[in-house]
Every structure is written in structure tokens, then in C-alpha cells.
Amino acid sequence: MNSQPKLRILLTRHEIEGTITRLAGELNRDYQGKHPLLLGVLKGSFMFMADLIRRLDFPLEVEFIRLASYGRGRESSGRIKVVQGLRAPIRGRDVLVIEDIVDTGRTTSFLLDYLRRKRSASVKLCALTDKPSRRQVPVTIDYLGCTVPDKFIVGYGLDWDEKFRYLPDICFVEFED
Ligand code: 5GP
Ligand code: MG
């Protein structure tokens, strides 16, 4: 049987908008006079990136990277690889990683280490959501949107099996056993 999961709104589009306005204010304060590279982690961060950067008032560049963890399902396996790499050199650059969610922390911590090894001037992390109850690897989130409970969330770029990315609100999925 192919039953549809039930979706319940966790963060409305208005709450997301307010959160992004606050984050943009923090970034506008901290990145004045700099020219950072904003590095979105595909695919989940595309909508967040688009809404965030139009509120920023300093010169910046946009890049994307795509990572994959081996294995399938709802959890990252911990073995991460770069599927689509950086096109721009980042040595000496201020890099701001844009993430949709930090869950176990494995993906983000892999990426931050990878970027630091490339001798960027600075690497900071801006994450729209954080699920701290699931953390397995410590990650410092320099700019955090919202903390979310230990539920699987979709919408606003986040998918479940490539579905629901287009939803304007962030919802959680109620799985039926
Ligand atoms: P981590 O390596 O921190 O466990 O997980 C990172 C990735 O797992 C996220 O970038 C995201 O792609 C996926 N992920 C973790 N939790 C969720 C969730 O609640 N919803 C969705 N859609 N993806 C998640
Ligand atoms: Mg992600």
C-alpha cells in the first residue's frame, strides 16, 4: 500500500520570513566590508539561500556544493562524499555555509573540515533549522534560525524522497506504521 503521510505545519511561511529577516540583520552587521562566498548545500538549502540573500546588503558571491551520504533512508550514514564540488577557489575567502538543517551533525562537520583544509580565511555556518536532540558530532552554528524537535521535517526546500520541497511552510511528517 502507498499511503500518503500526514503533514502538520511546524513553522509557517511568516515565521520563516521573520526568522530570515533576523538572520539577515545579524549577517549584515557581521559581514560589512567583507565579500564572502555564500556556499549553499544542495538541494535542501536552495529556497533558504534565495530568500536570505535578497535581504543582505553587502557584496557577496553564491556557490553550491552537493554532498551525499552513503546509504538510504532518513538518516545520514556518516560516510559523506562530495557529489558536485566547488567551482570557485576558496583559499583566503570568507566562506559562509548555508544549510537547511543540522541533524546528527555528520554532514556539516564533514563539510566544515573540508573547507577549512582548503585554507579559506574563515568558515562560518548559517543553518535555518537545528535538531540538537539528534546530534552525534558537535557543530557550532554561528547563525541559527530555529531549533526543531526530533521529527522529520519537509517543505521550504526540504524533501522526503524528493517530494514536498516546494511547500512554503515547514511541516513535519507523521509516519504511520
Ligand atoms: P546530518 O548529517 O546532520 O545527520 O544530516 C544532514 C542532512 O540530512 C540534512 O542536510 C538533510 O539533507 C537530511 N536531514 C536531516 N534531518 C532531516 C529532516 O528532518 N528532514 C529532511 N527533509 N532532511 C533531513
Ligand atoms: Mg542539507
Kindly report the three-state secondary structure assignment for every residue of 132-171: HHHCCCCCCCCEEEEECCCCCEEECCECECCECCCCCCEE
3-state helix, strand and coil shares in percent for the chain, rounded to the nearest 5: 25, 35, 45
- Residue 168 is predicted with a pLDDT of 98
Q: Is the pLDDT of residue 144 over 90?
A: yes
Determine the Cα–Cα distance for residues 76 and 66; give it in Å rounded to an integer.
14
Going from the Cα of 66 to the center of ligand 2, the distance in angstroms, rounded, reads 9
Query: Which run of H or E residues covers position 123?
Result: strand 122-130
Buried/exposed code over 163-177 (b: 16+ C-beta within 10 A; e: otherwise): ebbebebbbbbeeee
- Residue 68 is predicted with a pLDDT of 86
Half-sphere exposure of 110 (CA within 13 A, CB side): 20
pLDDT in tens, 147-171: 999 999 999 999 999 999 999 999 9
Q: Which three cell numbers stand for residue 33?
A: 566590508
pLDDT in tens, 116-139: 999 999 999 999 999 999 999 999
Q: Is the pLDDT of residue 8 over 90?
A: yes
Query: Which run of H or E residues covers position 24?
Result: helix 13-30
Determine the Cα–Cα distance for residues 140 and 124; give it in Å rounded to an integer.
9
Query: In this prediction, what percent of the chain has a pLDDT beyond 70?
Result: 93
Determine the Cα–Cα distance for residues 159 and 46; give it in Å rounded to an integer.
12
The CA-based diameter of the chain, rounded to the nearest angstrom, is 56
Question: Of 74-78, 108-112, 147-151, which range is least confident?
Answer: 74-78
- Residue 35 is predicted with a pLDDT of 97
Nearest-5° Cα angle at 27, 24 to 32: 125
Atom of ligand 1 nearest to the CA of 102: 3
Q: Indicate the average pLDDT of the chain.
A: 93
Q: For ligand 2, an ion, list residues with CB under 5 A.
A: 41, 44, 100
Query: Measured from the CB, is residue 173 less than 6 Å from ligand 1?
Result: no
Determine the Cα–Cα distance for residues 28 and 94; give it in Å rounded to an integer.
14
pLDDT in tens, 9-59: 999 999 999 999 999 999 999 999 999 999 999 999 999 999 999 999 999
pTM exceeds cut of 0.85: yes
Query: Would you place residue 84 in the very low, low, confident or very high pLDDT band (cuts 50, 70, 90)?
Result: confident
The set of catalytic residues is 103
Q: Is the pLDDT of residue 74 over 60?
A: no
